[in-house]
Amino acid sequence: MLRLAGTDRSAVMRLLHSYGLDLREVEPGADIPGSYWGESEAGLQGSTLLARADTPLHSILHEAAHFICMSPERRVGLDRDAGGDDAEEHAVCCLQVLLAALVRGFGVEGAWRDMDEWGYSFRLGSTRAWFEQDAQEARDWLRARGITDAAGALTGRLRDA
């Protein structure tokens, strides 16, 4: 599983910053503020994404995708629980994979592998199968909110409503 320590941190920071997120690293072994799952999983507090060197990159991208996909009203006062419904959660997972494609040394296949290893559960049995065969509703959700364009490419924009 690829961890923050194994990435080009400055490239990850630039990607997050392009969406208005700041990455703040927490000391090794310290609790991660705003973490929904605890342990080494990334946390969200407002527009700050918190992680440790041992935080899985897929977790960082997942929390970033939550921030991108949530309504502006939910971003205000955000602390730990991104909320949202099942359709939004699926869109978050799809966006997480799309963001992974922008991280050299990780990419789509790295995201699929690490998401499966972590225990994401999709009805087709793997993240890859879901993404390739069953994620059309998630793609439509992202497009309808301006996060991707008609061709499915990232627009670099946050959900606006």
Strand order in the sheet with 48-51: 22-25, 48-51, 43-45
Q: Are residues 57 and 22 in the same domain?
A: yes
Phi, psi of 22, deg, nearest 5:
-105, 135
Q: Are residues 61 and 96 in the same domain?
A: no
Q: Are residues 115 and 140 in the same domain?
A: yes
User: 59-63, long-range: CB within 8 Å, 24+ apart, which pairs?
Assistant: 59/118, 60/4, 60/12, 60/16, 60/23, 61/96, 61/99, 61/100, 61/103, 61/111, 62/92, 62/93, 62/96
Give the pLDDT of the chain (161 residues) as one tens digit per residue.
999 999 999 999 999 999 999 999 999 999 999 898 788 999 999 999 999 999 999 999 999 999 999 999 999 888 987 888 999 999 999 999 999 999 999 999 999 999 999 988 788 889 999 999 999 999 999 999 999 999 999 999 999 86
State which residues form the domain around 49: 4-75
